[in-house]
Chain A
């Protein structure tokens, strides 16, 4: 758990982050959104003390982060940035091994961990461990960047627009991978993005910032249904907020018990996707199937539309 308490950063007379307080739950993904220059990166970088706050403090699992030298703190916190920041003169394996080496792991353990991560990120160790970053595609470089951030099994991972440089298809894949990895390792992730779709897709909680202030920090559905501020509704988007809301619920969660006619849809699909599928097929109802092929229940267009309304 990360507690941010009344955190502020001033450069001269300008306040870049202004009295932000928030509690970030363990094993969750928190996404920080806001317009450019709103202080998102500054807030994120104060968590691992790349920037020292002017006021306030950060506690990780109850311990003040100023209780140890900043560089030792950072070795326990993963950090991934836009443009990956890989070291061009080191191989993929050496890049991933950076923090374990700093921590003095023995070579066998480092090698095993590098191999494990390459496999998790779908990079064949035989082909990629000895490759240099410039020999990789943009998507591969980005995956290595995240693998490197996770190498020393950090409990917390900070990400600053990690997928900003990727094209939409690779980006969607990277987002799915991140969700898998978060589940697999149980990492607490704090991620900064400009992209509201990304925020809604990944975030268990979303923090909306403007001019250094935290306007609202809540579950995505609450941001849509009960925005604390007109700026929050503008950020989350007024015109397609109903569809956004539908995208936050899966077919499995919304399925009604019973049997019905209609096309089969996956329980993991969002209601937005199910609705689109039904419109496309001209059907009124769908059968919700679990991944193992058993029936979970059914959905109707009317039931889906019900879910697209606030409250």
Chain B
């Protein structure tokens, strides 16, 4: 027995509980669940196909080999880098396999037949994604590395999409049909989320500062904002319709600016209102964290109130304020979806249209980018908050 086996054997024996769960679920999905669904058109229920029925043999076997490697890594390898590498290879294999299935199953020139990713694909993707996330968490990468990772993923996904790798899949078929609208609604989505965030920062930051300076106001103001948070989105849209419609009727300028009882205006106002509490509350919490002695010394040395606020207090509170902004941005990206219900536009348009037409591919065309946007926003703002916090600790 060599020293190497003596070292590696006990390492393989120690089963990783999360890894075991993921490998088990992945195996069940790969064997029993349909990898893709073949539909004769976009709305009929389809014909499920396993990995082996969907791909040329060499492709199916190659994909399975990669998945088995990933399962072994999940079960028995403790090195986080190896686990991450295996998970990413698995993601690539599954993605390429589903793209290849699209190419293989679509008859040449046929624009009606749809190949949609099946439950097996989604479960595998989820298991591999969780495995990758877990590995990244164990590696504790710095904020810069996390953003780099995100950027690389976006570039790879973007290149694959631009190259047309997935063009034969049902979601991309929906995209091809809706390309113009997709760009417009995506812009509208980001615009609504960021615009309401920016307006909320402009208003909530001074509110937070005021609540910090005048403790008497604090519970009243934050309590009111908290009540707004508890109103369901749809109800808030409804409540806003009345005054906004009245405003549009009474003030021609408002109507000319596009303010109406339905549409983007009530959506933006609702998102703005929801955004106030997290930012104001985190501003108060962040300012409370600023050492009193530092502020006292700053005043004693002749800094003006403005210099103390901008040069000391807000800078020291910034990581906490950014956490609030992160909450709001992620929340807004999700909530803009609902705005589509009242004609506010955004990617939610595809989601609700898809639900209406029972066209699940159209739902995905809206849902996948929303999830990706929210995830990216969370990663970037988390990293930013951490960088700032580290510089200040």
**Segment touching A, from B86-94, B169-177, B223-231, B296-304:** B296-304
CB–CB A87/B301 < 8 A? no
Residues of B within 8 A of A80 (CB): 297
CB–CB B297/A85 < 8 A? yes
The CA-CA distance from A9 to B360 in the complex, in Å, is 74
Residues of B within 8 A of A211 (CB): none
Residues of B within 8 A of A73 (CB): 302
Nearest Cβ distance between residue B387 and chain A, in whole angstroms?
Answer: 13
Nearest Cβ distance between residue B356 and chain A, in whole angstroms?
Answer: 53
6 contacts between A and B (CB under 8 A): A71-B304, A75-B301, A79-B297, A83-B291, A87-B297, A88-B294
Nearest Cβ distance between residue A7 and chain B, in whole angstroms?
Answer: 18
Q: Does B257 contact A (CB under 8 A)?
A: no
Q: Does B105 contact A (CB under 8 A)?
A: no
Given contacts A88-B392, A89-B315, A81 and B301 within 8 Å (CB-CB): no
Q: Report A110-148 CB contacts with B as 1/0, cut-off 8 Å.
A: 000000000000000000000000100000000001001
Which residues of chain A from 83 to 97 have a CB within 8 Å of any chain B CB?
83-89
Residues of A within 8 A of B316 (CB): 88-89
CB–CB B297/A71 < 8 A? no
Q: Does B393 contact A (CB under 8 A)?
A: yes
CB–CB A81/B300 < 8 A? yes
How many A-B pairs have beta carbons closer than 8 Å: the answer is 68
Given contacts A85-B291, A89-B316, A71 and B300 within 8 Å (CB-CB): no
Residues of A within 8 A of B297 (CB): 79-81, 84-87, 145, 148
The CA-CA distance from A88 to B391 in the complex, in Å, is 10
Which chain B residues have a beta carbon within 8 Å of chain A's beta carbons?
291, 293-304, 307, 312, 315-316, 391-393
Q: How many residues of A contact B (CB 8 A)?
A: 28
B294, B315, B392: the one within 8 Å of A85 (CB): B294
CB–CB B296/A85 < 8 A? yes
Residues of B within 8 A of A158 (CB): 300
Residues of B within 8 A of A83 (CB): 291, 293
Given contacts A89-B391, A89-B392, A134-B393, A84 and B293 within 8 Å (CB-CB): yes
The CA-CA distance from A8 to B65 in the complex, in Å, is 86
CB–CB B296/A81 < 8 A? yes
Is the contact region of chain B dominated by helix, strand, or loop, or is it mixed? helix
CB–CB B300/A74 < 8 A? yes
Q: Does A279 contact B (CB under 8 A)?
A: no
Residues of A within 8 A of B304 (CB): 71
Nearest Cβ distance between residue A93 and chain B, in whole angstroms?
Answer: 16
CB–CB A149/B299 < 8 A? no
B291, B294, B300, B393: the one within 8 Å of A50 (CB): B300
Q: Nearest CB to that of B293 among chain A residues?
A: A85
Q: Nearest CB to that of A86 among chain B residues?
A: B294
Q: Which residue, B294, B302, B303, has most C-beta atoms of chain A within 10 A?
A: B302
A71, A86, A134, A148: the one within 8 Å of B302 (CB): A71
CB–CB A149/B291 < 8 A? no
CB–CB B392/A98 < 8 A? no
3 nearest CB pairs, A to B: A85-B297, A79-B300, A74-B302
Q: Nearest CB to that of A85 among chain B residues?
A: B297
CB–CB B299/A50 < 8 A? yes
Residues of B within 8 A of A48 (CB): 300
Given pairs A79-B301, A88-B393, A98-B303, 15 additional interface contacts (CB within 8 A)? A48-B300, A71-B304, A74-B299, A75-B302, A79-B300, A81-B296, A85-B293, A85-B297, A87-B297, A87-B298, A89-B312, A98-B301, A134-B393, A148-B297, A148-B301
